[in-house]
Amino acid sequence: MRICFATNNRHKVEEVSAALGNSFQLITLEEAGIHEELPETQSTLEGNARQKALHVFERYGISCFADDTGLEVDALGGAPGVYSARYAGPQRKSEDNIILLLKNLEGKAPRTAQFRSVIWLVNPEGEWSFEGIVRGTILTTCRGSGGFGYDPVFMPESASMTLAEMTMDEKNRISHRGMAVRKLAEFLLSR
């Protein structure tokens, strides 16, 4: 089955392709001939994921899914949340985001947090959403060189490694995006 993932983020594409398996041929926005920046102006993960998927479907007539993911830190009242990718500014640099996060957490407790992913699917039959959540702790220093975003400082509950220290398969088995993608795949295969 061929399906468009409304992103050009190669890290997300690798993760989602690995989680979806061989039953799907994933195409990116670029591969679908879409070269514009998708809108992300909503105040929630659900809103942004829906906005991106609907934009592609309504403007280009392509069935697709989009995701939005946020790190929600308890001691920061759920921040950075929907602003996770641009927490330290519009340049969207993971290193800058991690530095700001660790600075904002100095002297604060608890360091518990969750990664939450929302996937929104739009096709001619309708719209559906799928969510994945993984709880964990924010470390005080980075560990690991894999993954992306906040992965080097996030250690999932009942794990002894950060998401950045895990292989792609290990991460996909427990991660927020992996959970949401499995729900999406089960839904698509059942249709």
Confidence of residue 25 (pLDDT cuts 50, 70, 90): confident
pLDDT in tens, 57-108: 999 999 999 999 999 999 999 999 999 999 999 988 999 999 999 999 999 9
**What CA–CA distance (Å, rounded) separates 93 from 111?**
22
Q: What is the mean pLDDT of the chain?
A: 94
Contact 179, 166 (CB under 8 A): no
Q: How many residues does the chain have?
A: 191
Class at the top of the CATH hierarchy for domain 2-189: alpha beta
pLDDT in tens, 156-189: 998 999 999 999 889 989 999 999 999 999 998 8
User: 147 pLDDT exceeds 90?
Assistant: no
Could you tell me the residue ranges of all domains in the chain? Answer: 2-189
Could you tell me the end-to-end alpha-carbon distance of the chain, in angstroms, rounded to an integer?
11
User: 137 pLDDT exceeds 90?
Assistant: yes
- pTM of the model as a whole: 0.90
Catalytic residue, from 67, 68, 74, 151: name it. 68
pLDDT at 1: 78
CB-CB neighbours of 76 under 10 Å: 17
User: 146 pLDDT exceeds 90?
Assistant: no
68 is catalytic: yes
Cross-strand pairs, 129: 120
